[in-house]
Structure 1
Amino acid sequence: MGRIKKKRAERDARRQPGLPGSQPQAAPPFPQAEVERVMRLWDQAIDTGLMASGTDVKYHFAPDGKVLSVAVGRSGQLLANGERLTPSVAEQLREDMPLLAGMVTFYENNQLAGRGLDGAPQDGVMPLPPPAGPDPMPAVEEEALAEAQAATAVLVRQGQVAEPVGAMVIPASRGGVVFAVGGLDGELYVNGRALTRQWAGALRSEVPELASDIDRLQAMRAEWLDAPPQDRTLALAGSCTDPNCHTPH
């Protein structure tokens, strides 16, 4: 971890300024203790084989002292604060460090697109952009929703899905909907079918503007299938950060 320790002082001295035109403000104290804690997490990641020693690591600091540190692991998957950047880890990070939630989503999107650390800002304190309201929520196409609900009702009758409480419903502005539910068997079902690679591809063709949402659901399903099957009835509740996502349903 010598490279990480050597670069720490450089990062401290290279903090980013505020937004252009803003009044100069005193830089927040360097979060020394939090950086030391995160560095220990990287040591553990090296010990367990998740990453190689000397791997380049990005550090982003929030004004409230939170630290987001990201690297590319041996497998090519992104690691955040010493853990694989899975959907559940990303959601937990957004909850724990809301001022860095946008950066977590940036790296999550990079991972889905296979871009690694490409385009990431330089290390330092992240300037806070002015607040922006969400885009207008598209109306749910009632016919598409009814079809998805009917297909899910079949799964309920088959005993694969409980009553679809907490379903994730994402409408497309040009029509169509993604209706996702967690199964009693640990599977993730979308519009009445398990979200296999083939079905995900068909859904992207049907509602291309929701492709990134389908990508995230696929990543979530892969994470679920790594664990023993369990009741996932409420697993999607609260897990969608898209302002156009309706949940629970």
Structure 2
Amino acid sequence: MGRIKKKRAQRDARRQPGAGPMAPPPFPQDEVERIWRAWDRAVDTGLMASGAETKYHFTPDGKVLSVAVGKSGQVLANGERLTPSVAERLRTQMPLLAGMVTFYENNQLAGRGLDGAPEDSVIPLPPPAAPDPMPPLDKKALAAAQAATAALVRQGKVSEPVGAMVIPAQRGGVLFAVGGRDGELYVNGHALTQQWADELRAKVPDLSSDVDRLQAIRAEWLDVPPEDRTLALADGCTDPNCHTPH
């Protein structure tokens, strides 16, 4: 199943620019064996095929991200489907590998699987860069989205207009997303159907990737029975340009 080659001491004792050789970190044997067991369960339950290509990425602090493509074509991470909630959890648990999690999440949205992924290795990532400046919040667009959401509250589709994920665009416009009492995900006052998602991409093209991610969240929600999800997005955005709760 693409077991990791245990090239411990010789694994990427890389040089940083202007620095001396970096000693290889201890091999995270216990964590790797835990992930092997997770992959065995994924094979046993039919989530992935035995012998599927499995990639491993490590950080010097002993965290491990292992990815593969399941039988359905969905990207799997550490033995689980890479759903939006799993991706957010992994970014929180492995901040040095957050960029890699997002890379595979974007690959999944684009149907590229593991294409373009780096080789198995210890990844000495540079210190995280400061977030981009917060774009100005388009107050007119926000007011319109809030009014549309208030209409959903009056219709009984949303419990209350709080807990929204509010994402401003650099060139004007905003996404105002909230979960509904019926388990639906509403953005700017409309259920996030494919047609509405396409209209939003046309209106705020620089937020197209955010629309993609909201669609993935909606698809995950629709896999389970409907429930009141009004507050479900309140802690669901790790983007520094995301205003939440609102």
Into which bin does the TM-score normalised by the smaller protein fall? Answer: over 0.9
Q: Distance in 1 between matches of 2:233 and 2:72?
A: 27
State the percentage of identical aligned residues. Answer: 75
CA distance 1:215–1:113, shift in 2 (3 Å): same
Corresponding position of 1:226: 223
- Offset at residue 217 of structure 1 (A): 0.2
CA distance 1:16–1:137, shift in 2 (3 Å): farther
Determine which structure has the larger helix proportion and give its number: 1
Corresponding position of 2:75: 78
Corresponding position of 1:164: 161
Gaps of 5+ in 1: none
Give the TM-score, by structure 1 length.
Answer: 0.95
Question: Do residues 125 (structure 1) and 150 (structure 2) align?
Answer: no
Is the 1:55–1:72 contact (alpha carbons within 8 Å) kept by the matching residues of 2?
yes
Question: Do residues 67 (structure 1) and 68 (structure 2) align?
Answer: no
- Offset at residue 176 of structure 1 (A): 0.7
4+ residue segments displaced more than 6 Å: none
Gaps of 5+ in 2: none
What per-residue deviation string (whole Å, max 9, x for no partner) do you get for residues 66-122 of structure 1?
110000111111000000000000011111112211111111111111111111111
Q: Aligned letter for 2:146?
A: Q
Corresponding position of 1:108: 105
Q: Which of 7, 27, 31 in structure 1 is aligned with 2:28?
A: 31
- Offset at residue 62 of structure 1 (A): 1.3
Q: Distance in 1 between matches of 2:228 and 2:13?
A: 45
CA distance 1:109–1:213, shift in 2 (3 Å): same
Question: Do residues 195 (structure 1) and 192 (structure 2) align?
Answer: yes
Structure 2 residue matching 1:9: 3-state secondary structure: coil
Q: Which of 51, 55, 70 in structure 1 is aligned with 2:52?
A: 55
Structure 2 residue matching 1:151: 3-state secondary structure: helix
Give the TM-score, by structure 2 length.
Answer: 0.96
What per-residue deviation string (whole Å, max 9, x for no partner) do you get for residues 42-81 of structure 1?
0010111111111110101111111100001111110000
Corresponding position of 1:176: 173
Q: Return 12-21 or 124-133, whichever deviates more.
A: 12-21
What per-residue deviation string (whole Å, max 9, x for no partner) do you get for residues 145-164 of structure 1?
11100100000001110222
- The size of the alignment, in residue pairs, is 246
Q: Distance in 2 between matches of 1:109 and 1:61?
A: 20
- Offset at residue 16 of structure 1 (A): 6.1
Q: CA RMSD in A?
A: 1.4
